[in-house]
Amino acid sequence: MKEYKLLVLDVDGTLLNSAHEITPRTRDTLIKIQQMGVRIVLASGRSPHGLNAIVRQLDMHRHGGYVIAFNGSLIYDAQTEEVLFERCVSPELLPFLERKAHQYGFPIFTYSNEAIITDTPNQPRIMAEAELNGLPVRHEELFSIQVDFAPWKLVLVNEDEASMAELYERWKRRLSGTAEVHRSEKFFLEILPPAIDKSMALGALLQKLDVKAEDVAAIGDGVRDIGLLQMAGVGIAMGNAAESVRACADSITDTNDRDGVAKAVEQAIDAYRQPENLPLEEINRMMASSMIGHLGITFTYAAEGRVEATMPVDLHTRQPFGILHGGASLALAETVAGLGSMLCIAPDEHAVGMQISGNHVSSAHEGDTVRAVATLVHKGRHSHLWSVDISTSTGKLVSTVRVLNSILRK
């Protein structure tokens, strides 16, 4: 199965359910794959302000994810907030767009860093968009004059689908080469910088990161996501996606109300990234930010039925009297046995510690490094029993520990 470096996710209708929430299962799954080295890219029509809460929920600011905002006009690093790519609509277009919007009776709005700016502040769709992005609405009657910056995108609003379709076809031809025109919703007509969409922005990001498209997995539900699905090494359509989107995907997952993202990730990514497929240096890197890394535990050998690791006797693992703490020994034993069980289970299973008992027969002093060797004693359908011997650098036995792990279905 293919290993992927980036996971690109549409937000509304994909990552979020109908209540605009990330379910616990989806959140846990996405945090887990980030801890295993896969970086997440959010690709959305929302503003950065409307995506920041999602970035925080998924811990992307800690794991080095990326955000494609405004359907491709802006890319930034979720960890450093550095802007990596930016394109704007020409300010010279604003008077024309405002005049035509008034001619057709369509409200118009755009985004600044602090607000949604519009000539029709009480329009329900604009109010809903402001709430979705967590931005206030700023009323500017002289819209094109007061928008004194180059916007990332502009949006016209109308509930009449036939009128919106007519204007879309007309402007698509009229503005060709000057701006991109898209219907993001039945009632929204978006004006973006020329040659900008999600897939183009992803291509720019991949070039900057030196990542190949074949190393990317993408999940989406809308027509605006088709380019992403076709560009990625694997493109996955949501179960709630339109038929035209489903036809362009490599596979189809469940709906956004039934943890479709989590299920797709577990099958396409998490199933591959089992410990037996990971080199030791990557396993150690994955553990660096956990208690395992804090104790200085380093895996030195891992195969089915046997795992070895070392741990320094230092200020993190010693007693006040300068000898190895028994609790640190048990933590080391449970760690090597835990990885050992992970090597033996199926992709749809996980191992949890059930019981541990140890005999401390000798001591190890500060400055030494102890070595743990875990050996599988019994492998059952629902449990694994491990024997773990912990010795000093000279081979003196310090502790002998029995660890019982329970094997559960995900």
Q: What is the 3-state secondary structure (H, E, C) of the chain?
A: CCCCCEEEEECECCCECCCCCCCHHHHHHHHHHHHCCCEEEEECCCCHHHHHHHHHHCCHHHHCCEEEEHHHCEEEECCCCCEEEECCCCHHHHHHHHHHHHHHCCCEEEECCCCEEECCCCCHHHHHHHHHHCCCEEECCCHHHHCCCCCCCEEEECCCHHHHHHHHHHHHHHCCCCCEEEEEECCEEEEECCCCCHHHHHHHHHHHHCCCHHHEEEEECCHHHHHHHHHCCEEEECCCCCHHHHCCCCEECCCCCCCHHHHHHHHHHHCCCCHHHCCHHHHHHHHCCCHHHHCCCEEEEEECCEEEEEEECCCCCECCCCEECHHHHHHHHHHHHHHHHHHHCCCCEEEEEEEEEEEECCCCECCCEEEEEEEEEEECCCEEEEEEEEECCCCCEEEEEEEEEEEEEC
pLDDT of 273: 53
User: Can 334 be counted among the known catalytic residues?
Assistant: yes
Residue 50 has pLDDT above 80, yes or no: yes
- The position carrying tokens 């660890």 is 403
Query: Mind listing the pLDDT tens digit for each residue in 289-333?
Result: 789 999 999 999 988 899 999 999 999 999 999 999 999 999 999
Residue 347 has pLDDT above 80, yes or no: no
CATH 3.10.129.10 for domain 275-409 = yes
Active-site entry in 98, 180, 266, 334? 334
Cite the residue boundaries of each domain of the chain with CATH code 3.10.129.10. 275-409
Cite the residue boundaries of each domain of the chain with CATH code 3.40.50.1000. 6-83+197-270
pTM of the model: 0.70
Residue 275 has pLDDT above 80, yes or no: no
Domain 6-83+197-270 classification at class level: alpha beta
Place 283 in a pLDDT band, splitting at 50, 70 and 90.
confident
Residue 399 has pLDDT above 90, yes or no: yes
pLDDT of 410: 67
pLDDT of 167: 85
Specify the range with the lowest mean pLDDT, choosing from 9-13, 24-28, 327-331. 24-28
Q: What is the mean pLDDT of residues 110-117?
A: 93
Nearest to 16 by CA among 47, 69, 53: 53
pLDDT of 191: 93
pLDDT of 2: 65
Q: What is the mean pLDDT of residues 237-243?
A: 94
Q: Can you name the CATH fold of 91-192?
A: 3.30.1240
| Mean pLDDT for the chain overall | 91
Cite the residue boundaries of each domain of the chain with CATH code 3.30.1240.10. 91-192
Percent of the chain with pLDDT over 90: 73
Query: Mind listing the pLDDT tens digit for each residue in 151-189?
Result: 999 999 988 888 888 888 888 888 888 999 988 778 899
pLDDT of 270: 60
pLDDT of 290: 84
Residue 370 has pLDDT above 60, yes or no: yes
pLDDT of 342: 87
Contacts of 222 (CB under 8 A, 6+ apart): 10, 13, 184, 241, 242, 245
